[in-house]
Amino acid sequence: MERSLIILKPDALQRGLMGPILTRLEARGLKFIGLKLMQVSDELARKHYGVHEGKPFFAGLVSYITSAPVLVVAIEGKDVISIIRNTVGATNPAQAAPGTIRGDFGVNIGRNLIHASDSPENGAQEVSLFFNDSELLAYDRSIDQWVTE
């Protein structure tokens, strides 16, 4: 089972898009195992975006993600990384396909609404940055037999 971290960024919350975005992910059949509304600290933001440290846009990433509350979501399941990334769309909303979250709601790469883990390894690492084990739930859903074989 893969795990992915989703972050509904400050622009998603400020624009009142939490519900529509979560609905799209849930409608795909994805299993949420943790949700948390939070204010990201500077320290956590620097860890999360550490791969970009030293790049010209790093300070802007940290400043933006810490500027207002976010919703972090842990999702678990088979092939969730690719399913989520296809649902989210291209990083640049101007290049995101219609029907994707960024394609339908985004306009600008600097305000692209949502973060989604890009690999199973990063998904596991990112989930552990934002959630303690005690905050993640293991449970069965009655719909699982209708979502996956």
Catalytically annotated residues: 115
Distance CA 58, CA 89 (A): 22
Beta bridge partners of 70: 38
Q: How many CB atoms lie within 10 A of CB 89?
A: 24
CB proximity list for 131: less than 8 A, separation 6 or greater: 34, 36, 72, 74
Backbone φ/ψ region at 35: left (φ over 0), alpha (ψ -120 to 50), beta: beta
| Residue 108 token pair | 């600008």
Place of tokens 């992910």: 25
